[in-house]
């Protein structure tokens, strides 16, 4: 164990007895309930449901109980292999997840059975069955979890893919909040809907904006529960911070409404506390906003000729960001790659193309004036009416290279993927780490240390600054809403989330031709460790984003949620005292074995 990891783990230890005892210090008046579930059952073991009991569940859910096996079983894997680069097809297969695994961590394996839920009643039936029979329960909507939280072998899967209705509201008031909350424009989204479904309804057809994720195939429910950042979070905050109400099936099989006045602690916990820990969300209602007139993208790649030139380029990029881009107009990424390369891939809103070009003119002039830096990919700016941000037909006509449609016969025309996200489909992760970078690092007296750290990190592995995933520089109202969520408080003061990661080709178990290169994966993981060591030298207490983080993070309670974790643990004890819901590094998971089958605390 590294000294840094040892110190962090030691700092977390004093919290664990409180978190696991369920004492009154953290119960917030809920009262402690002694856990009775000590272990879960596996197929073939004592207590596993009989065929008759499974058939009874099947009848209860209208014949929608599926017995699962590997997607590559049955002798002809060709149709599945043909669609492995299509995230819509992957998501439509209950035996697959959007990530195929993580080196030395987990591998995507199907559940024993799945309930293909089409209603809240189907979800209730699955939760009741799992509780009664002591089954490992898994929830999957979009299936994008990097940490493998949306699948587990020997489990019962609640598969919400077919619950995908989207409905708009002109003036929504949460239940029980009349007279306490002003009516707001909103959108209600069922648990299995993807963000492209929401964007098509809200923006393309409705002319409004909802804060969601950047990747169009990510599930709405999972992203909101993890906090949820999109390209314009610097303007409208996190997806979780705009949640107005949720319908949730809790561990006791009850259907609960959660909002600011009804089950408020459950509501708070759903806003960034991580998916799959407190219940099964079946519907969410999110606030929508006026849509700006214009939005757009800037992109280009700069090559430096030497270490000195690259360090100067990094320094100028960070200084320019502080001066010109550190505001609600700008989002997405500055990517610092190996080989002295800076890749710019940023988006803007509420600016015209000439205004965006004017913003960037000083930086471009600095680059062009130097003899040791050059554009290896031309710098380009494109603007469009914001209503076309997710308009598939607009992109088919004006920028077809930026999208990849779901090419299956009969697929919805609006189902498109950004071309830049295609390499994540089915990928096998070698390493993945993230860190919130505080805005104080941009101050003139500290910026030189930040630049030194970024340069040092780049010598080990490339990384990206996701400036939309830190809320420093956002409007006060967006920060206030985000403060009232379970997301790590560091996000409020962070100017960016730094992500350092890499992966390889799909490597699902049983997949013909799958050859994960574990030696390469471990070597890359070591290089990423070294890069992150350089970053943490200037941000030693940086937390991580729960959805984009290290599977092996030791102090994950503090790393994911900081001072919010005790309150989340109290909500867990109140709504799931037996620990029916388990995910890796989820709230309350410290009381269970790594596979979630045996209680250890």
Condensed to tens digits (0 to 9), the pLDDT of residues 130-186 reads 999 999 999 999 999 999 999 999 999 999 999 999 999 999 999 999 999 999 999
The answer to whether the beta carbons of residues 130 and 173 sit under 8 Å apart is no
The answer to whether the beta carbons of residues 215 and 418 sit under 8 Å apart is yes
Phi, psi of 219 (to 5 degrees): -75, 140
Tokens 């309670």 belong to residue: 557
Q: What is the distance between the alpha carbons of residues 21 and 26, in angstroms, rounded to a whole number?
A: 10
Residue 45: C-alpha distances to residues 54, 114, 125, 155, 526 (Å): 15, 19, 22, 13, 40
Q: Per the domain annotation, does 358 fall within a domain?
A: yes
Over residues 52-74, the pLDDT tens digits come to 999 999 999 999 999 999 999 98
* Model pTM score: 0.93
Q: Is there a single domain that holds both residue 17 and residue 60?
A: no
Q: Per the domain annotation, does 267 fall within a domain?
A: yes
CATH code, 381: 3.30.70.600
Alpha helices in 154-245 (DSSP H): 195-199, 220-226, 233-236
* Among 135, 98, 40, 331, residue whose Cα is nearest residue 223: 98
Q: Mean pLDDT in runs of 10 for the chain (601 residues)?
A: 37 35 32 69 97 98 98 91 96 97 98 98 98 98 96 97 98 97 98 98 98 96 97 98 98 98 98 97 98 98 98 98 98 95 98 98 98 97 97 96 96 96 95 98 95 98 98 98 98 98 96 94 98 97 97 97 98 98 98 97 86
- Rg, the chain, Cα only: 24
Q: What is the distance between the alpha carbons of residues 144 and 529, in angstroms, rounded to a whole number?
A: 24
Q: What is the distance between the alpha carbons of residues 282 and 221, in angstroms, rounded to a whole number?
A: 8
Of 98, 133, 159, the domain-final residue: 159
* Among 115, 130, 109, residue whose Cα is nearest residue 40: 130
Q: Per the domain annotation, does 398 fall within a domain?
A: no
| Residue 279 CB neighbour total at 10 angstroms | 30
Q: Give the SS3 label for residue 323.
A: helix
Q: Is there a single domain that holds both residue 559 and residue 529?
A: no
Enumerate residues 6+ apart whose C-beta is below 8 A from 73: 510
| Domain region containing 478 | 427-553
Q: Is there a single domain that holds both residue 256 and residue 333?
A: no
Q: Is there a single domain that holds both residue 276 and residue 300?
A: no
Of 331, 355, 385, the domain-final residue: 385
Question: Which letter does DSSP use for residue 112 in this model?
Answer: S
Q: Is there a single domain that holds both residue 250 and residue 306?
A: no
Q: Per the domain annotation, does 299 fall within a domain?
A: yes
Task: Give the dihedral of Cα atoms 302, 305, 306, 311; nearest 10 deg.
Answer: -20
* Among 275, 265, 225, residue whose Cα is nearest residue 575: 265
CATH code, 111: 3.30.43.10
Tell me how far the alpha carbon of residue 7 is from its chain's centroid. 28
Q: Is there a single domain that holds both residue 270 and residue 349?
A: no
* Among 174, 230, 175, residue whose Cα is nearest residue 198: 230
DSSP string, 120-134: HHHHHHHHHHHHHHT
Of 357, 385, 413, the domain-final residue: 385
Phi, psi of 269 (to 5 degrees): -65, -30
Q: What is the distance between the alpha carbons of residues 157 and 144, in angstroms, rounded to a whole number?
A: 15
**How many domains in the chain?**
5
The answer to whether the beta carbons of residues 442 and 495 sit under 8 Å apart is yes
Q: Is there a single domain that holds both residue 284 and residue 181?
A: yes
């Amino acid at each position: 164990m590294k000294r840094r990891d040892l110190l962090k783990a030691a700092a977390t230890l004093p919290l664990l007895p409180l978190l696991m005892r369920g004492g009154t210090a953290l119960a917030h008046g809920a009262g402690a309930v002694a856990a009775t579930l000590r272990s879960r059952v596996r197929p073939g073991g004592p207590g596993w449901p009989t065929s008759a009991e499974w058939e009874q569940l099947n009848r209860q859910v209208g014949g929608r109980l599926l017995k699962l096996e590997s997607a590559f079983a049955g002798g002809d894997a060709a149709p599945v292999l043909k669609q492995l680069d299509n995230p819509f097809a992957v998501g439509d297969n209950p035996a697959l997840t959007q990530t195929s695994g993580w080196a030395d961590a987990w591998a995507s394996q199907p559940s024993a059975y799945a309930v293909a839920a089409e209603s809240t009643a189907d979800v209730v039936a699955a939760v009741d069955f799992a509780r009664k029979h002591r089954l490992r329960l898994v929830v999957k909507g979009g299936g994008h979890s990097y940490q493998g939280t949306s699948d587990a072998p020997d489990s019962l899967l609640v598969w919400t893919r077919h619950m995908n209705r989207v409905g708009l509201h002109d003036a929504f008031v949460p239940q029980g909040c009349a007279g306490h909350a002003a009516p707001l424009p909103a959108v209600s989204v069922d648990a299995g809907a993807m963000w492209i479904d929401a964007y098509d309804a809200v923006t393309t057809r409705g002319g409004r904006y909802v804060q969601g994720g950047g990747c169009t195939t990510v599930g709405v429910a999972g992203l909101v529960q993890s906090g949820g950042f999109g390209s314009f979070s610097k303007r409208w905050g996190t997806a979780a911070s705009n949640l107005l109400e949720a319908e949730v099936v809790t561990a006791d099989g009850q259907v609960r409404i959660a909002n600011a006045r009804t089950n408020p602690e459950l509501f708070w916990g759903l806003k960034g506390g991580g998916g799959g820990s407190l219940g099964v969300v079946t519907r969410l209602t999110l606030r929508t906003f006026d849509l700006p007139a214009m939005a757009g993208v800037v992109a280009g790649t700069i090559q430096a000729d030497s270490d000195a030139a690259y360090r100067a380029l990094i320094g100028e990029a960070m200084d320019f960001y502080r001066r010109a881009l550190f505001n609600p107009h700008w989002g997405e990424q500055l990517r610092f790659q190996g080989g002295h390369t800076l890749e710019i891939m940023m988006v803007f809103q509420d600016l015209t193309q000439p205004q965006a070009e004017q913003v960037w003119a000083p930086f471009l002039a600095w680059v062009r004036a130097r003899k040791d830096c050059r554009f290896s990919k031309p710098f380009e700016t494109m603007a469009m009416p914001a209503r076309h941000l997710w308009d598939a037909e607009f992109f088919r006509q004006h920028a077809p290279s930026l999208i990849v449609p779901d090419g299956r016969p009969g697929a919805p025309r609006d189902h498109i993927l950004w071309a830049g996200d295609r390499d994540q489909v089915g990928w096998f992760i070698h390493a993945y780490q993230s860190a919130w970078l505080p805005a104080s690092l941009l101050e003139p007296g500290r910026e030189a240390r930040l630049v030194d750290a970024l340069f040092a990190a780049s010598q080990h592995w490339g990384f990206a600054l996701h400036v939309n995933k830190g809320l420093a520089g956002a409007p006060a109202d967006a920060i206030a809403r985000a403060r009232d969520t379970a997301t790590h408080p560091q996000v409020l003061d962070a100017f960016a989330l730094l992500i350092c990661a890499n992966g390889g080709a799909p490597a699902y178990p049983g997949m013909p031709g799958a050859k994960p290169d574990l030696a390469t994966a471990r070597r890359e993981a070591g290089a990423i460790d070294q890069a992150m060591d350089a970053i943490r030298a200037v941000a030693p207490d940086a937390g991580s984003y729960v959805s984009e983080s290290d599977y092996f993070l030791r102090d994950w309670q503090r790393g994911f949620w900081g001072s919010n974790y005790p309150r989340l643990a109290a909500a867990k004890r109140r709504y799931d005292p037996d620990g029916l819901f388990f995910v890796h590094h989820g709230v309350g998971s410290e009381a269970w074995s790594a596979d979630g089958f045996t209680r250890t605390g």
